[in-house]
Every structure is written in C-alpha cells, then in structure tokens.
Amino acid sequence: MKGFSGKSIHEGEEPDETLHGDVVSPIHLSSTFSKKNMKDVEKGFVYSRSGNPTRRALEKKLAALEGAEHGYAFSSGMAVETTVLLSLLESGDHIIASDDLYSGTRRLFVKVMERFDLKFDFVDLSKDENISFLKDTKMIWLESPTNPLMKVLDIENIADEAHEKDTLVVMDNTFATPYFQRPLELKADVVVHSLTKYISGHSDVVGGAVMVNDETLHQKLMFHQNALGTVLSPFDSYLVMRGIKTLKPRMNIHEKNAKILGEYLEEHRLVDAVYYPGLPSHPQHDLASRQMSGYGGMLSFELSGTSEKAVKFVEALEVFALGESLGGVESLIEVPAVMTHSNMSREERERIGIRDNLIRVSAGIEEIEELIEDMERGFAALDDGRSDVWPVKS
C-alpha cells in the first residue's frame, strides 16, 4: 500500500511494458484516436475532450491522493466550479456558502449563476450557531481555511447537519491540499481544487480538479465535463503531475515557514492581528489540530494603520513577489482590499472582516531568514523604526 509520497510519485504512472516502459507518463497530444475496426470504435480513448491518456493518469493520481474513487481535471479552478454547479443544481435551487471565500467564487455565484435563478446566501459557518440549514437548501459550499481570513470550519459537523436535510456538501480544499486535510473522510460529498496553486506548485500552469466517491455524482460530473469541454490539456496535465511529486516536501516547508512568520508577526508592534490556524491564538486552533494534519502555508495579518501603509509595506519587499495567486514555491504577498477582493464593495468586505489594512501571505519555500529580513524591510519602509524581535527562534 503506497503512502502519500508513493501515490504522488507512482499513481497513474505505472510503466506500460507493452510500449516503452516509461517511468514518467508521456504527453499524449493527439486530439483523436484511431481504431482498427468498427467494433472497437467506442473502446478506450476516442477523442481527447472525452478522455486523454495523460489527463487520465493525472485524474487517477488526484483521486488517490484525495482518497476518492473518481477524479476529474479541468482547465481552471473556475471551470471546475462552473461544471459542479451546472452538473448538480437546477434553476431555483438554494445554496449556502461561506461568507469569507475566494472572491472569484463569489463573483461566479452572484454575477453569473444568479442570472440562472440560483439563490445564494453567504454565512459565517465558523460559528456553531450558524450551522443550521434551510430545509430546501440543495448545496452548501465550504472553504476551510477560508480566503483570506483563515477561518477553520467544522467540516464533519456541517456535513452531518447538511445530510440530515439531503443537502450536498462541496469543499474547496485548495489551501490545505489533500496532504493536510481529507474532506471526503470528514463526510464532504464533493472536493474541488485549484490545481494552479499548491498541487502544481510552480506557478506555471492553470488548472482545477474535482473528486467524488458517490457513483451518481461521478456520472453527472463525467457527462458535464465532456459536454462543456472544460478539460485540462495534455501538456498542463503533465506539468501538474510533475509538480505533485514534490507536494509532500513542499507542503512541509510551506507550513514551517508560515508558522515562523506567524509567530514573528504576532509579536511585532506594528501588527494588530495575525490569522493563521497553526497559532494557539487562532480561535479555531483546536479544531484545526483535530481536523487537519498540518496548518498550511497561508496566513494573513493586519498592519497598524491605513491601506496606504499596507500598500507601502508590500511595495518595499524584494523577496516576496507582489501577486494575487498562491501556493507556488516562491513567496507571494498581496493586499486583498485592492487586489484579490477588490471586486467586492467596501461594505461587503467590512461586513466579513476584510479590512483595508489586511495583507495576505503565501509563504514559499525560501530560507526563513530571508523572508523575515524582507518583512523587516517592509516595516522599515513605514518610517516607524525596525522591530526589536528579530531574530525569532525557529
């Protein structure tokens, strides 16, 4: 039985001794596949939108890592979300979603899907008193940890409540990855990922994935992936498979760096708050410790002062790249109010708790000393003097 690294490296890439014995799954660029006779027309691979050997190898690997029976790879995370909604919902259905979630997901829900008479409510599901769903709710959409406030949701408790009312539970596991969190084992019905982030891990591919165990959901998703044509290309499938092989060691370093950065920032006199599930001060730290096997590489913090100071801070950095994505080997930093979540009104952001001085960090795998020195560069640019807490203990 393969462990996590064994699955990451070998699943879906077993050498085919009838061909050349490749230890790495080859890139099958063919758009169509010929048959020797008519009786074989529907056997094996027919057309790459419907199925491609390279993509199939990736899908097998993704399913194995998530502990799922079935996995599908898509052209982007948003393509996954669109396909899930169109596959599993009907006009008039009601959906509850986390209030704090990726703004692109919220935009898809409100600006696109509401036009087709889907009804969405956004709720702070980190609070136990809010885990009660309307009888006619068709789906609940979760992120944990959430983006960007890093709230942790009790997935199993929410799933138990939802299933009593025949409500589907969809879990976006992008931040945690299957290495640190297994939502299907916590009774989620559907798990989605942006492959662009940690799973590929090198900021060189855009992709998405969905994993399920239920056969009915599998059949619906398989049909709609083909019908909508939202598939990942063979070359991008190869890139994701290449990245997955180092997912475990990368995630360990991401987490170590994020935890040290969180401890450093929590003690800094120019920081008002730090949001990281691995800190004992996090309100759901105990839940995260029970539900996850690690806390991930994402954290957020609030600077003392205005959004102008937040912008000045991030623009002074040299090691952290100023960018909106996350999960790559390089460290990234951004100001949600003017970047990833700028498509939300200020009133919406304030209601959720996304303040103008909030900064989101994707801790990369560089040496931690370089990352903290870069943070010191940012604080020095605020003309408030340097911190007296460097160096921190690692």
- 209 strand-pairing partners: 73, 193
On whether the CB atoms of residues 347 and 341 are closer than 8 A, the answer is no
| Range in 148-152, 326-330, 349-353 the model is least confident about | 349-353
Cβ within 8 Å of residue 311, ≥6 positions away: 335, 338
| Range in 40-49, 103-112, 175-184 the model is least confident about | 40-49
Domain ranges of the chain: 4-244, 247-380
DSSP string for residues in 92-124: T-EEEEESS--HHHHHIIIIIGGGGT-EEEEE-
What does the alpha-carbon distance between residue 145 and residue 140 come to, in Å, rounded to a whole number? 16
| Residue 107 pLDDT grade (very low, low, confident, very high; cuts 50, 70, 90) | very high
- Mean model confidence pLDDT for the chain: 93
- By CB atoms closer than 10 A (0-12, 13-18, 19+), residue 92 is exposed
On whether the CB atoms of residues 60 and 46 are closer than 8 A, the answer is no
- Residue-wise pLDDT for 62-88, tens only, equals 999 999 999 999 999 999 999 999 999
Active site residues: 49, 102, 172, 197
Positive or negative: CA dihedral 61, 72, 295, 380: positive
What does the alpha-carbon distance between residue 58 and residue 200 come to, in Å, rounded to a whole number? 11
- CATH of the domain spanning 247-380: 3.90.1150.10
Of 180, 106, 169, 173, give the one whose Cα is nearest residue 137: 169
Average pLDDT value for residue range 310-317: 96
What are the C-alpha distances in Å from 156 to residues 169, 248, 290, 292, 310? Answer: 10, 24, 11, 12, 36
135: number of Cβ within 10 Å: 9
Total residue length of the chain: 394
Backbone angles phi, psi at 359, to 5 degrees: -125, 130
Q: How many CA atoms lie within 13 A of 248 on its CB side?
A: 9
| Residue 19 pLDDT grade (very low, low, confident, very high; cuts 50, 70, 90) | low
Percent of the chain with pLDDT strictly greater than 70: 95
Percent of the chain with pLDDT strictly greater than 90: 81
What does the alpha-carbon distance between residue 178 and residue 210 come to, in Å, rounded to a whole number? 12
Statement: 4-244 belongs to CATH 2.20.25.90: no
What's the pLDDT score for residue 307?
85
Per-residue pLDDT at 22 exceeds 90: no
On whether the CB atoms of residues 159 and 169 are closer than 8 A, the answer is yes
- Residue-wise pLDDT for 134-159, tens only, equals 789 999 999 999 999 999 999 999 99
On whether the CB atoms of residues 356 and 336 are closer than 8 A, the answer is no
